[in-house]
């Protein structure tokens, strides 16, 4: 089936399809458990042999815990991103205000210069003698 022809339920079916053990002689064993010590998915045979004495939980339970952690992490990242966007917005606004103030100072300085030159041109003797 072409990927473009997949429906939402098709994706769910693929995701729910059992994964099988990669260990030699366990290829037909579905992964059912999660070894908390080794942090890997394991089949029943592995649980009884290679991971005997290790703390194990059902794979679905481990997946649900991981989903919760991932969702929590994503939410935290979203909040941090929003805080950074807010900070950028504040900085942009501060820059805009600073540019406006600089333009006002420049205009005022230009006006002062023009007034000073006008005064000097109109009464040069008063500037020289004072």
* Tokens found for residue 130: 């004072």
How far CA 97 is from CA of 40, 102, 104, 109, in Å, comes to 56, 9, 10, 18
Element spanning 42, H or E: strand 40-42
Q: Name the residue with higher pLDDT: 14 or 123.
A: 123
CA distance 119 to 111: 12
* Tokens found for residue 64: 């649900």
CATH superfamily of 8-59: Classic Zinc Finger (3.30.160.60)
Domain boundaries, the chain: 8-59, 77-130
Residue 130 has pLDDT above 80, yes or no: no
* Tokens found for residue 99: 């540019």
Residues 89-115, mean pLDDT to the nearest whole number? 97
- The DSSP output letter for 30 is B
């Amino acid at each position: 089936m072409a990927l473009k022809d997949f429906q939402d339920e098709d994706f769910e079916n693929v995701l729910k399809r059992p994964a099988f053990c990669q260990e030699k002689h366990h290829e037909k064993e579905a992964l059912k458990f999660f070894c908390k010590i080794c942090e890997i998915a394991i089949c029943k045979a592995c649980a009884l042999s290679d991971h005997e004495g290790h703390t194990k939980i059902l794979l679905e339970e481990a997946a649900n815990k991981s989903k919760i952690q991932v969702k929590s992490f994503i939410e935290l990242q979203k909040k941090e991103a929003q805080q950074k966007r807010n900070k950028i917005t504040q900085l942009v606004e501060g820059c805009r205000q600073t540019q406006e103030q600089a333009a006002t100072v420049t205009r005022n300085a230009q006006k002062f210069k023009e007034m000073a030159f006008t005064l000097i041109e109109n009464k040069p003797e008063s500037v020289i003698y004072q």
